[in-house]
Structure 1
Amino acid sequence: MLLVCVSLLVDATQLLTKDSQTKINSVAAKSAKVKLVSSQQAKQYSSYKQKKAQIAIIIDDIGNKRADADAFSLPEKVTFSILPHAPFSTQFSSYSYHQGREVMLHMPMESLHGDALGDGALLASMYPEEVENNLLSALESVPHAIGVNNHMGSKLTQITLQMNAVMDVLYKHNLYFIDSRTTKFTKAHIIAQQHGVASAQRHVFLDHHANEAFLEKQFDQLIRKARRDGSVIGIAHPYKVSILFLQRKLAHLPDDIELITVSEYLSKGSRESIDSFEQPRLAKETMLPTTDIAPE
């Protein structure tokens, strides 16, 4: 009788143990399945990231004054467009380069208002060879430029002959062009595309009224456009109020906004280096038309 009871007890214990082990194995299997599904999903969507809206900022008119150096306090992703043949053109170009900052040539072009342009400007009366020589001379004074945008130019950017000469130089030297859009009649961006020059247009002019309220309004517009279109270009100047404003704003961008360089903008945010412009050239950059025209 005792042996029978012991045997029944052993069988019950084994049954409980087997049942417990089955439950453990079942839980482990479910856990492994969850991990496997999670892993497969992670692999399936590993290339997906929530893309942020992007803003590229250009600071024009760098190089005339020593005080322009205050702009170097801005993030290195901010691109400097430096005037040619100015007192600090070459010095600020070299400093920007060693800082790891992108440099553009801010090329003076004739306006409709007869504004003073400084040395080496491009004029509507020039033959194409003169345009090319002046542009090459300007590039020598800003030796680290990887792109060009127009300073003034409401007249010249409407004239096909001279803009063809400009784009011939940029194509040969693999430089990009940003149309500052100082007139709604500009042909510069279209002609750049026709010549195979990587190009785009300015979307928002931030500080043609250099005060805090106007900067705030324009910066908000830049952010809205970025969220709507994906990426945008804004232009400002090395005014003290503008530098202080951008220092504050760029240090505390919304979580869905990121600052990029102009070359990153032209690469559609691919983070490729400027060498990506060589093969192939980005000749087909398309932009939505902008309505706000920068004053000269």
Structure 2
Amino acid sequence: MSRLAVLLLGLLTPLLVIGAPGAEATGDSERLTTLSRMPKLALVMDDLGQNDARDGRVLALPGPVAMAILPDSRHATPLAERANAAGKTVILHLPMAPADGPYAWQPQLGPTELTNRLDSALAKVPHASGVNNHMGSLMTARAQPMAALMHELQQRHLFFLDSRTHAGTVAAAAAQRIGLASLSRDIFLDDDPSPHAVAAQFRTALKLARKQGSVVIIGHPHPSTLALLERELPRLQAQGIDWVDIGQMIATRGNRAMVAHGSGGIYRSVQDQR
């Protein structure tokens, strides 16, 4: 064999091993197509900012956890800064009646005071991309304040997540009416925080994701919830579930409420617990 032939063979061998040009890109495209067809899950953790150790465990979860931070909690501002630096989605967990306190939206307050409370709460939770309600069974069923809230969020380019703490909530509908980016919660993981109940709710969430194509889960930093998430979240892709951030879930759903909302036997009845 001539020296030229040996040289050419040496140059071609890596190409033969790697494959034809574009093979890697084709593989990436196929993987993306597979992911796009998988049921999707988004996870929000509520009531953060009150306990540094538990907040740290939420922050250490490996994927796109959205962190809903209470504005009147001790660690609200530093936690929001840490979450943003870690690439997590920050949400203002806005108290609503029957919740009280300096930031809570309550029925007796006028529009100016409600707006001032929203501004103050957002100042306490910097980097917030959106808002969801903490408690709120006495507020989310009221059309006028919910319409006002959605208008304020639209002006600030923030999304809204309806935690659905009351069967008569009009919050998500108010958001959809003006085209505000929004979502509604499907599953609370831990109304009953016992390990057995949390595990059962997580299984229900995965079943619902496969049934309707997506699921939005809200959990709280209970020890049982954190232990389950630390164990189960890394296994999601192997179970055929695509864990996505809130922004991608909003795009996936296109502001549409899922058929399963309000279905008896899937959701627990939650009144003033959240």
Of all paired residues, the percent bearing the same amino acid is 33
Is residue 100 of structure 1 aligned with residue 84 of structure 2?
no
How many Å apart are 1:287 and its aligned residue? 2.5
Structure showing greater radius of gyration is: 1
What is the 5 A alignment of 1:41-120? Answer: 48-49=33-34, 51-67=37-53, 68-111=55-98, 116-120=99-103
Tell me the SS of whatever aligns to 1:55: strand
Is residue 290 of structure 1 aligned with residue 262 of structure 2?
yes
1: distance between equivalents of 2:107 and 2:231? 41
Residues 76 and 100, structure 1, Cα contact 8 Å, conserved in 2? no
Matching residue of 1:190: 173
**5+ long unaligned stretches in structure 2:** 1-22
- The residue type equivalent to 1:196 in the other structure is G
- The residue type equivalent to 1:182 in the other structure is T
Provide the alpha-carbon RMSD of the alignment. Answer: 2.1
- The residue type equivalent to 1:228 in the other structure is K
Corresponding pairs, count = 238
Residues 212 and 258, structure 2, Cα contact 8 Å, conserved in 1? no
CA displacement 1:104-135 (0-9 Å, x = unmatched): 01000003xxxx53331000111122111111
2: distance between equivalents of 1:117 and 1:245? 31
1: distance between equivalents of 2:256 and 2:129? 17
**5+ long unaligned stretches in structure 1:** 1-38, 270-281
2: distance between equivalents of 1:252 and 1:145? 29
Structure 1 length normalisation: TM-score? Answer: 0.75
Tell me the SS of whatever aligns to 2:95: strand
What is the 5 A alignment of 1:127-166? Answer: 127-166=110-149
Tell me the SS of whatever aligns to 1:267: helix
Tell me the SS of whatever aligns to 1:268: helix
Q: Which of 238, 245, 258 is 1:261 aligned to?
A: 245
Q: Which of 205, 219, 226 is 2:209 aligned to?
A: 226
Structure 2 length normalisation: TM-score? Answer: 0.81
Is residue 203 of structure 1 aligned with residue 189 of structure 2?
no
Residues 180 and 294, structure 1, Cα contact 8 Å, conserved in 2? no
Residues 184 and 257, structure 2, Cα contact 8 Å, conserved in 1? no
Q: Which of 125, 128, 137 is 2:108 aligned to?
A: 125
